[in-house]
């Protein structure tokens, strides 16, 4: 049985999904970039999500979003389907596009986590040895200067989407918003923090590349490589997938968030056991999504500890965040 996940309105997430067998189907050419931005803009508008950052790598996709109304599963289903079907047409690809594993969904509970993960997303092409600086990546992405104020624009792709259907406008715009953890009067300071973290991660990647005697591939070659090839760099399998990130040196926040996750799961399973036994009056914990959506169960309106921890001021926001503990390293493309 998979672990139940709390879906809370207003939560900010880092989402990652990978291409089947690490094929380079999302090679950063103009057509795939147009598809990515258009599909994301349509999906975000349809489900009311706020988009903060993205980076489409050749073998996987990173997003940082805030789910204002608690409909993240619906958004992911719609968005990933659009991307997959459009990619199949663009690449003349038979079979699945996405890896068989579920998307990685990591909830960002503190300002430190937001800064760290946005920097991680934007610097991902550098960490993968593709370009020397994040701004050089030619694929669908957000630059640090666009955080909270940029607008991505894409015309309707010429493939798959019916131009006569009114739900596919001729052009879509995607405003980039600030995460809820960031005060609007401190937006410039936030961008400076992200830029500093990107610079740190780039320097680390440069040192690792030099130590291994490797050279960066370059934006031009990354854009022209065959999309049917596969990434060949080492990638560990079956490592842990986290559900939240809080930041480095924030042990109290981490312990509280971990305890809240365990409490939610225990409460959910206890309610599910009673429901399976025929007790239809059972009340599930706040954040229950599947059972509420498909079976109409009652859900408590009590806010969980993990929601409270996300709302509290983060006294250690200036300290760097190690990322998600135990996550699979993001190697290759």
The per-residue pLDDT for range 109-168, each reduced to its tens digit, is: 999 999 999 999 999 999 999 999 999 999 999 999 999 999 999 999 999 999 999 999
- Residue 31: closest CA among 124, 139, 137: 139
Q: Which residue has the tokens 């690792």?
A: 208
pLDDT at 316 over 70: no
Rg (CA), the chain: 20
- Residue 304: closest CA among 7, 2, 3, 1: 7
- pLDDT tens, residue by residue, 208-245: 999 999 999 999 999 999 999 999 876 666 566 789 99
Q: Whole-angstrom Cα distance, residue 214 to residue 129?
A: 8
How much helix, strand and coil, in percent to the nearest 5, is found in the chain?
40, 15, 45
Q: What is the pLDDT of residue 3?
A: 87
Q: Whole-angstrom Cα distance, residue 25 to residue 229?
A: 8
Q: What is the pLDDT of residue 236?
A: 62
Which domains occur in the chain, in start order?
Answer: 11-245 (3.30.70.1290), 251-311 (no CATH)
What mean pLDDT value characterizes the chain? 89
Q: What is the pLDDT of residue 239?
A: 64
Q: Which residue has the tokens 């939240």?
A: 244
- pLDDT tens, residue by residue, 170-218: 999 999 999 999 988 899 999 999 999 999 999 999 999 999 999 999 9
> Which range (77-86, 159-168, 307-316) has the least confidence?
307-316
Q: What is the pLDDT of residue 301?
A: 82
Q: What is the pLDDT of residue 237?
A: 60
How would DSSP label each residue in 290-330? HHHHHH--EE--PPPHHHHHHHS--TTTTS----STTPPP-
Confidence of residue 302 (pLDDT cuts 50, 70, 90): low
pLDDT at 308 over 70: no
Q: What's 265's DSSP letter?
A: H
Q: What is the pLDDT of residue 1?
A: 59
Residues with Cβ within 8 Å of 86's Cβ and at least 6 positions away in sequence, in order, are 35, 39, 157, 159, 160, 161
pLDDT at 310 over 60: no
pLDDT at 326 over 50: no
- Assess contact for 59 and 332: CB atoms under 8 A: yes
CA dihedral 236, 240, 243, 247 (to 10 degrees): -80
Q: Whole-angstrom Cα distance, residue 26 to residue 19?
A: 8
């Amino acid at each position: 049985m998979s672990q139940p996940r709390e879906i809370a309105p207003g939560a900010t997430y880092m989402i990652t999904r990978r291409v089947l067998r690490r094929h380079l189907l999302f090679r950063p050419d103009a057509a795939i970039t147009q598809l990515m931005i258009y599909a994301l803009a349509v999906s975000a508008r349809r489900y009311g999500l706020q988009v903060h950052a993205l980076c489409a790598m050749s073998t996987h996709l990173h997003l940082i979003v805030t789910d204002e109304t608690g409909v993240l599963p619906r958004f992911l289903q719609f968005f990933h389907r659009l991307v997959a079907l459009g990619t199949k047409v663009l690449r003349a690809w038979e079979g699945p596009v996405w890896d068989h594993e579920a998307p990685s969904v990591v909830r960002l509970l503190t300002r430190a986590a937001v800064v760290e993960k946005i920097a991680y997303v934007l610097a991902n092409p550098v960490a993968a040895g593709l370009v020397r600086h994040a701004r050089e990546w030619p694929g669908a992405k957000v630059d640090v200067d666009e955080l909270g104020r940029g607008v991505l624009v894409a015309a309707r792709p010429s493939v798959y989407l019916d131009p006569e259907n009114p739900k596919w406008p001729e052009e879509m715009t995607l405003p980039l918003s600030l995460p809820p953890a960031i005060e609007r009067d401190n937006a410039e300071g936030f961008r400076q923090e992200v830029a500093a973290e990107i610079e740190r991660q780039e320097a680390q990647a440069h040192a690792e590349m030099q130590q291994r005697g490797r050279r960066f591939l370059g934006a031009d070659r990354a854009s022209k490589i065959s999309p049917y090839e596969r990434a060949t760099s080492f990638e560990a399998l079956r490592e842990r997938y986290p559900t939240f990130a809080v930041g480095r040196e924030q042990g109290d926040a981490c312990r509280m968030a971990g305890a809240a996750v365990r409490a939610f799961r225990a409460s959910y399973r206890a309610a599910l056991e009673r429901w399976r036994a025929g007790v239809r009056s059972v009340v599930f914990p706040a954040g229950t999504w599947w059972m509420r959506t498909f079976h109409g169960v009652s859900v408590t309106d009590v806010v969980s500890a993990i929601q409270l921890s996300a709302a509290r001021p983060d006294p250690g926001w200036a300290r760097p965040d190690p990322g998600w503990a135990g996550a699979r390293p993001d190697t290759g493309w």
